[in-house]
Chain A
Amino acid sequence: MEGLTLSDAEQKYYSDLFSYCDIESTKKVASNGRVVELFRAAQLPNEVVLQIMELCGATRLGYFGRSQFYIALKLVAVAQSGLPLRVESINTVKDLPLPRFGASKNEQESRHTTSYSSDTENQGSYSGVIPPPPGRVQVKKGSVSHDTVQPRPSTDQQESTSPVVSPQQSPPTSPHSWRKHNRHPSGGNNERPLPGPGPFWSPFSEAQTGSSAGDAMWSGHSPPPPQENWVSFADTPPTSTLLAMHPASVQDQTTVRTVASATTANEIRRQSSSYDDPWKITDEQRQYYVNQFKTIQPDLNGFIPGSAAKEFFTKSKLPILELSHIWELSDFDKDGALTLDEFCAAFHLVVARKNGYDLPEKLPESLMPKLIDLEDSADVGDQSGEVGYSGSPAEAPPSKSPSMPSLNQTWPELNQSSEQWETFSERSSSSQTLTQFDSNIAPADPDTAIVHPVPIRMTPSKIHMQEMELKRTGSDHTNPTSPLLVKPPDLSEENKINSSVKFVSGNTVADGYSSSDSFTSDPEQIGNTVTRQRSHSGTSPDNTAPPPPPPRPHPSHSRSSSLDMNRTFTVTTGQQQAGVVAHPPAVPPRPQPSQAPGSHVHRPVDAEGLITHTSTSPQQIPEQPNFADFSQFEVFAASSVNEEPDDEAEMHPEVLQVEKTSDPSSSLRVAKPDGRVEEKTAASAPANVGKSTTPLAPPPKPIRRRLKSEDELRPEVDEHSQKTGVLAAVLASQPSIPRSVGKDKKAIQASIRRNKETNTVLARLNSELQQQLKDVLEERISLEVQLEQLRPFSHL
């Protein structure tokens, strides 16, 4: 006979059939009996069969060698396609469908044949497809030959017996796909694969009913549900016992099946395909997937990391490129990990692929992880719109729900709109997404609102400022007002930055400066935050504007409270000032000249108020010195505890600078704060600090620093901690208010409440501190007097 050219599919199929017929495992000769059976199963008239046999030379040779067998098969195909049997037709007929043989248990086979013919391009799957029939045949040992072409229909009719039948049908590919793996190593040994189908056969047997049979499998063309193949890269090969069971039952069924009407097969097939969703995961499949998931990740709500998934799916021996594509399809949220749903989808796709079904371009609807509203999703699946999978929403990872809902709904749109997709991916919890929270990104997802700094409370701060002004003017203690007045300008410019950076202020202030809660002056915060805020569209330039000390880590709300505090402080300060001895005309603590420096009074207040004063309050300047004073005061307080005269000096930096005792500790304290404060207040308190600089700078710094770097100052601070601690505590107690709700009335009200509380506490503190300040001042005065008295003596 002339040379026979076979396509790859044909080659494989024929070889499988040959193996099937090669009961003696001679690999050379197909037993006549088997061959005849096979040919009969081809449902060709007997004379045709005889003709074929004659043509292929078997009659001549007396046996079916491989080549004869192949030729015979080809002729069968020719005959089945209705073409006249000619020797020449072997090679001349192109695109000949593969010969179809009645499938006993071979719904699979027939399915394969159909799938072969339809999926000739799926070369990869062929080997998988082909093995099963022969393999199965071997298992069944003789049950075969009747290869009815009707795969499904017979199963339909076999429903009663379906447990075994359906497995064969439904996961036609399973065994063979499984086989595929084995084939490669075994090189055609059909025995081995047998164990493979067992496992899933068992699950199938239970579940397999008409429904399962009816599903996916039916459409001869659509990819059979990839139920099969699970075991392929799963783990333990099923026990052969199962197989034994199956073959037996299969045999019975095959007999029954063979009876099945071939005519109905097509109809049924057509019907099934109409509702069949090849991508639908049956319950057994799903259960299997879930079990597999558990082997990797016991927690069903957890994730399978990418690496583990990679190993797992690599076992399926699919090409990396396809696995990569499957991953792309199934990793819905692009987080590099698979949830249960995603895992099932991926598994399903792998099984489908192994069974020869092309991977879809988009994730089929039934495979999409059910998050929220899958109904909204558009076509997606090329198969029927069944969302049978949606039954698993419960398993949808809750963690993804925030972004998922919107994602789910917009998934179809996202598919089409890359822009949305981009937004989504930005929104997704995936850490890999770029943290590009540029303001020009319009996140539809409310979640992003939290991320994006929302300018808020531009007005509140102003309002606060105004309030403070009013209070100032209205109060008797207007002394501080002057410095305060100076503040507003700064504040105003800071305020404008405020809006953009308000949110940031909270950030920047996060330096443990609990007191900063009250402190959260917008200007300061803005200054700091601006400097630190990267992505915020360039509001940074205004860094230098706000002089006040670095903003506290508190969000803007606290700022409001701080404003109140400032107000309170200024009030108290005013009081203090009134009652206090004329302060030495020390250099105004802050560059702001207007401040009536006297700030001894101010200082303690300011110290506390500094925190607050930086907040938009116009007290920036005065508070700075106050702030400084406060630190001094604290030092002083501490010293009062220790009764160190040096503290007094500390307390009045500007005054005592000259006389400043070189108390190492105190100087250290000052120095340290200086350093710290410098850093912190560098941007924020430029102008103000200009004048007083050192004296003032340190005072606030120690406080701030203390709060901020407790550890460093702790030893020194401990002493001071009394007041400052209280103050800090009070300030810190202010809850950080989410910036995003700045405009939220409730939040504002809550914050107002909090602030008021804080205010009262701070007011109390203030009064106490004022009292202490008075005492300290008196001591100072006395000490100064003494010093004066002693000085002349020192010259002696």
Chain B
Amino acid sequence: MAVCIAVIAKENYPLYIRSIPAEHELKFHYTVHTSLDVVDEKVSAMGKALVDQRELYLGLLYPTEDYKVYGYVTNSKVKFVMVVDSSNTALRDNEIRSMFRKLHNSYTDVMCNPFYNPGDRIHSRAFDNMVTSMMVQGC
């Protein structure tokens, strides 16, 4: 059950961030922000390795007692960070991957929109719907 999903731009500012339990929104914001360091660390570790989907998916960035943070970076250095609740049955890696894949697809669709300027916040309703579906059902 993803509790927070964030899309971070290349310059490390959020393009889209949404969390489910509203009361912890600030906490998730902070979590996502700190996870960016881990993302950068992983990205740099990969070096110039050829980019394939496996590398897009960064995997578990770091776990805490409450939740786990997963990361995914696109070729354009746009990062997706997902915070999932640990209490849920541990989502399989594949499920996380599929969630990121969906995210990436939706993000691509948003990008396709000529009225969307890269770097703007994402207001697309389709994207919102997709994210909501992911957060509600968790997969």
Least Cβ–Cβ distance between B98 and chain A, in angstroms: 8
A418 adjacent to B115 (CB under 8 Å):
no
B115 adjacent to A323 (CB under 8 Å):
yes
With a cutoff of 8 Å between Cβ atoms, the chain A residues found around residue B123 in the complex are 321, 324
Q: Identify 18 new A-B residue pairs, CB closer than 8 A, beyond the known A327-B114, A328-B109, A328-B113.
A: A306-B113, A306-B114, A307-B114, A324-B113, A328-B124, A331-B113, A336-B114, A361-B125, A419-B98, A422-B98, A422-B101, A422-B105, A425-B109, A426-B105, A432-B109, A433-B108, A440-B94, A535-B52
B113 adjacent to A436 (CB under 8 Å):
no
**Chain A facing B: main interface SS:** helix
A432 adjacent to B108 (CB under 8 Å):
yes
Q: Does A712 contact B (CB under 8 A)?
A: no
- Chain B CB count within 10 A is highest, among A418, A434, A440, for A418
A434 adjacent to B101 (CB under 8 Å):
yes
With a cutoff of 8 Å between Cβ atoms, the chain B residues found around residue A335 in the complex are 112
A and B contact pairs by CB, cutoff 8 A, 19 listed = A324-B113, A324-B115, A324-B116, A331-B113, A334-B108, A335-B112, A336-B113, A336-B114, A418-B102, A418-B133, A418-B134, A419-B98, A422-B98, A422-B102, A432-B108, A434-B53, A434-B105, A438-B53, A534-B52
Q: Does A309 contact B (CB under 8 A)?
A: yes
Residue of A nearest to B123 (CB): A321
Bound together, the chains give a CA A313 to CA B133 distance in angstroms of: 30
Indicate whether A436 sits within 8 Å of B101 (C-beta atoms), given known contacts A324-B123, A361-B125. Answer: yes
With a cutoff of 8 Å between Cβ atoms, the chain A residues found around residue B101 in the complex are 422, 434, 436
Pick the contact of B130 from A361, A418, A438, A440 — CB < 8 Å?
Answer: A418
With a cutoff of 8 Å between Cβ atoms, the chain A residues found around residue B114 in the complex are 306-307, 309-310, 327, 336
Q: Does B26 contact A (CB under 8 A)?
A: no
Least Cβ–Cβ distance between A362 and chain B, in angstroms: 10
Residue of B nearest to A311 (CB): B114
Interface residues, chain B, CB within 8 Å of chain A?
A: 50, 52-53, 94, 98, 101-102, 104-105, 108-109, 111-116, 123-126, 130, 133-134
With a cutoff of 8 Å between Cβ atoms, the chain B residues found around residue A432 in the complex are 108-109, 111-112
Bound together, the chains give a CA A327 to CA B115 distance in angstroms of: 8
Least Cβ–Cβ distance between A314 and chain B, in angstroms: 8
Residue of B nearest to A359 (CB): B125
With a cutoff of 8 Å between Cβ atoms, the chain A residues found around residue B125 in the complex are 325, 328, 361
Bound together, the chains give a CA A436 to CA B52 distance in angstroms of: 9
Least Cβ–Cβ distance between A226 and chain B, in angstroms: 19
A306 adjacent to B112 (CB under 8 Å):
yes
Question: What class of interface size applies to chain A in its complex with B?
Answer: 20 to 34
With a cutoff of 8 Å between Cβ atoms, the chain A residues found around residue B130 in the complex are 418, 421
- Chain A CB count within 10 A is highest, among B111, B113, B115, for B115
Bound together, the chains give a CA A432 to CA B114 distance in angstroms of: 13
List 10 tightest A-B contacts by C-beta distance, closest first: A306-B114, A310-B114, A324-B115, A336-B112, A534-B52, A432-B108, A323-B115, A334-B109, A422-B102, A327-B113
Bound together, the chains give a CA A7 to CA B110 distance in angstroms of: 36
Per-position contact with B for A250-278: 1 when CB-CB < 8 Å, else 0?
A: 00000000000000000000000000000
Least Cβ–Cβ distance between B128 and chain A, in angstroms: 11
With a cutoff of 8 Å between Cβ atoms, the chain A residues found around residue B50 in the complex are 534
Bound together, the chains give a CA A25 to CA B58 distance in angstroms of: 68
Bound together, the chains give a CA A335 to CA B109 distance in angstroms of: 8
B115 adjacent to A434 (CB under 8 Å):
no
Q: Does A668 contact B (CB under 8 A)?
A: no
Bound together, the chains give a CA A535 to CA B52 distance in angstroms of: 7
A425 adjacent to B105 (CB under 8 Å):
yes
- Chain B CB count within 10 A is highest, among A325, A334, A361, A438, for A334
CB-contacts of A402-460 with B (<8 A):
418-419, 421-422, 425-426, 430, 432-434, 436, 438, 440
With a cutoff of 8 Å between Cβ atoms, the chain A residues found around residue B53 in the complex are 434, 436, 438, 535
Bound together, the chains give a CA A384 to CA B68 distance in angstroms of: 47
With a cutoff of 8 Å between Cβ atoms, the chain B residues found around residue A328 in the complex are 109, 113, 124-126
Bound together, the chains give a CA A230 to CA B114 distance in angstroms of: 21
B115 adjacent to A320 (CB under 8 Å):
yes
Bound together, the chains give a CA A328 to CA B106 distance in angstroms of: 11
Bound together, the chains give a CA A438 to CA B104 distance in angstroms of: 15
Least Cβ–Cβ distance between B132 and chain A, in angstroms: 10
Bound together, the chains give a CA A335 to CA B98 distance in angstroms of: 21
Residue of A nearest to B53 (CB): A436
With a cutoff of 8 Å between Cβ atoms, the chain A residues found around residue B94 in the complex are 440
CB-contacts of A353-410 with B (<8 A):
361
Bound together, the chains give a CA A535 to CA B104 distance in angstroms of: 17
- Chain A CB count within 10 A is highest, among B53, B101, B105, B126, for B105
Bound together, the chains give a CA A425 to CA B124 distance in angstroms of: 17
Residue of A nearest to B127 (CB): A328
B113 adjacent to A434 (CB under 8 Å):
no
With a cutoff of 8 Å between Cβ atoms, the chain B residues found around residue A331 in the complex are 112-113
Bound together, the chains give a CA A334 to CA B116 distance in angstroms of: 13
- Chain A CB count within 10 A is highest, among B94, B109, B123, for B109
With a cutoff of 8 Å between Cβ atoms, the chain A residues found around residue B109 in the complex are 328, 334, 425, 432
A433 adjacent to B115 (CB under 8 Å):
no
With a cutoff of 8 Å between Cβ atoms, the chain B residues found around residue A321 in the complex are 123
Bound together, the chains give a CA A746 to CA B116 distance in angstroms of: 49
With a cutoff of 8 Å between Cβ atoms, the chain B residues found around residue A421 in the complex are 105, 130
Pick the contact of B105 from A309, A313, A325, A433 — CB < 8 Å?
Answer: A433
Per-position contact with B for A504-548: 1 when CB-CB < 8 Å, else 0?
A: 000000000000000000000000000000110000000000000
Bound together, the chains give a CA A328 to CA B125 distance in angstroms of: 8
Residue of B nearest to A326 (CB): B115
With a cutoff of 8 Å between Cβ atoms, the chain B residues found around residue A320 in the complex are 115
Least Cβ–Cβ distance between B57 and chain A, in angstroms: 10
Residue of B nearest to A533 (CB): B52
Residue of B nearest to A306 (CB): B114
With a cutoff of 8 Å between Cβ atoms, the chain A residues found around residue B105 in the complex are 421-422, 425-426, 433-434
Bound together, the chains give a CA A419 to CA B98 distance in angstroms of: 9
With a cutoff of 8 Å between Cβ atoms, the chain B residues found around residue A324 in the complex are 113, 115-116, 123-124
With a cutoff of 8 Å between Cβ atoms, the chain B residues found around residue A310 in the complex are 114-115
Bound together, the chains give a CA A323 to CA B114 distance in angstroms of: 9
With a cutoff of 8 Å between Cβ atoms, the chain A residues found around residue B134 in the complex are 418
A334 adjacent to B102 (CB under 8 Å):
no
Pick the contact of A430 from B112, B115, B116 — CB < 8 Å?
Answer: B112
- Chain A CB count within 10 A is highest, among B50, B52, B101, B114, for B114
Bound together, the chains give a CA A323 to CA B124 distance in angstroms of: 11
Least Cβ–Cβ distance between B63 and chain A, in angstroms: 24
With a cutoff of 8 Å between Cβ atoms, the chain A residues found around residue B102 in the complex are 418-419, 422
With a cutoff of 8 Å between Cβ atoms, the chain B residues found around residue A436 in the complex are 53, 101
